[in-house]
Amino acid sequence: MRVGIRCGASRAEAFWGATVQQSPGAFLYSSNTGSSVIRWWEPPCTFSGLTPPEGARLEVAVPSDATCREWVRDVGYVFFPIFVDYPYLLWTDVVPTSPLRPFDPLTDDADYTVVPPDPGATAVENALDVLDEDGNDVLRDQIDWALTPGAQEDEEPIRVGTGISEEDRACKAHFGEPESGEDPGRRSPNAPREAADWDYDVDVFPGVYNPYARAAQTVKLRWGTRAWGYRHIEERHGWGAGARTRTAYALLDPTPQAQSRYPQSFVYFGNLVNGPNGIDCRQRVVVSYDQDQRVPVGRHIITSYLEAY
C-alpha cells in the first residue's frame, strides 16, 4: 500500500504501527533498514505529496508508533510523531451500476484497447531458438501440440510413454519392444566435430514416398533431440532391431496421412499380423519433410512406435 507521511519535521525515516481504519486489525508498516528507509525533504513535512487515484477516498492523520528526528538549534535532536495518510476504496465504490455481461464487439465500444508492439521477426526467431535448445525441446513440442489445430489427435508430448493403454502394452510385449528406454545423450559419439548436436544420421530408409514432393526419396533417422529423431525414440519408446524392421515396413505405406503438428509432415502406418490375443497392432512413423532455420537439413523421422488400433 502506498502511503503519505505527516510529521512535525522535515525528515521522515520510518513508519509503522498505524492502524488501517477500514480493515480492523491490519497495519501499515515498513522496514527501517537499507534502501527501504523513506525520506522526504519537504519542510515542514506536513504531506509527502501522495495523490489518491481517481475515485479513491483518502484517510488522513492516522497516528502511528513512528517518529521523525530533526535537529533543533540550541536544543539538539528532537523527535516528532509521524502520522499516516492512505487512499482506500469501500466495497460500495466498486459495485457496478448495471449487471455485468460479456463484452459484445458488435454493440459495445471498448473504453480502451491495448495493441502490443510488433517485436519483429528477429526477436521472435531468437525466442523460438531458446525454446528449441536442448532441454526445452519437449516444452516447445508441447506448445506446438496445444496450439496447432488438429494436432490433439496425436500423442501429447509430455505424456508419451506414460499414457499408453493395456492394448498398447500388449503389442509392445508381444513384439519385444520396451515401453521406454534410456536417454542416449545430447550428442552422438560418432557425429562429426563440426556437426550440430542433433545432426548425425543414425540410419537411412530409401524409397519412401513423399506426398509433398510426389516422389520417392531417402528418409533419414537423425540423432535429433528429446523431442524428435533417434534420441526421442530411444528414450520414449525404445529402439532396436525389431523397431528398425517395423519402421522400414511402415515407411512402405504408399498413402501416408498428412499430420498437422509439423509442417509438411506425414504419418506412415505398418499394420502387423499375428497380434496378441486378437489385438491389432501397428507401427506408427511420423516423418517431417520441412526445412527451417533451426534444422536446415530437415528433421525427417520424428518418432516411431508400436500401438494398438
Residues 178 and 304 in one domain: yes
Residue 119 falls within a domain, yes or no? no
Residue 108 falls within a domain, yes or no? no
Residue 253 falls within a domain, yes or no? yes
More confident site: 259 or 144: 259
**20-34, 69-83, 223-237 — most confident range:** 223-237
Which of 36, 62, 93 terminates a domain? The answer is 93
8 A C-beta contact, residue 134 and residue 197 = yes
| Structural domain that includes position 207 | 135-308
Whether pLDDT at 47 is above 60: no
Q: What is the pLDDT of residue 242?
A: 93
Cα 68 vs. chain centroid, distance in angstroms?
48
Predicted confidence band of residue 261 (pLDDT cuts 50, 70, 90): low
Inter-axis angle of helices 137-147 and 121-131, nearest 10: 120
Name the domain count of the chain.
Answer: 2
Q: What is the pLDDT of residue 299?
A: 93
State pTM to two decimals: 0.54
8 A C-beta contact, residue 186 and residue 204 = no
Q: What is the pLDDT of residue 70?
A: 76
What are 231-260's pLDDT values in tens digits?
999 988 889 999 999 999 999 999 999 986
Number of Cβ within 10 Å of residue 30's Cβ equals: 15
Residue 209 falls within a domain, yes or no? yes
Number of Cβ within 10 Å of residue 273's Cβ equals: 6
What are 110-121's pLDDT values in tens digits?
777 778 888 887
Least confident of 38-42, 100-104, 157-161: 38-42
d(Cα 135, Cα 185) in Å, to the nearest integer? 11
Question: If you average pLDDT over residues 34-39, what whole number do you get?
Answer: 39
Whether pLDDT at 34 is above 60: no
Which has the closest alpha carbon to 262: 224, 211, 300? 300
CA dihedral for 133, 134, 135, 139, sign (positive or negative): positive
What are 121-141's pLDDT values in tens digits?
777 767 766 665 555 666 777
Residues 281 and 163 in one domain: yes
Residues 86 and 211 in one domain: no
Residues 89 and 157 in one domain: no
- Return the residue matching grid coordinates 508498516: 29
What are 188-232's pLDDT values in tens digits?
999 999 999 999 999 999 999 999 889 999 999 999 988 889 999
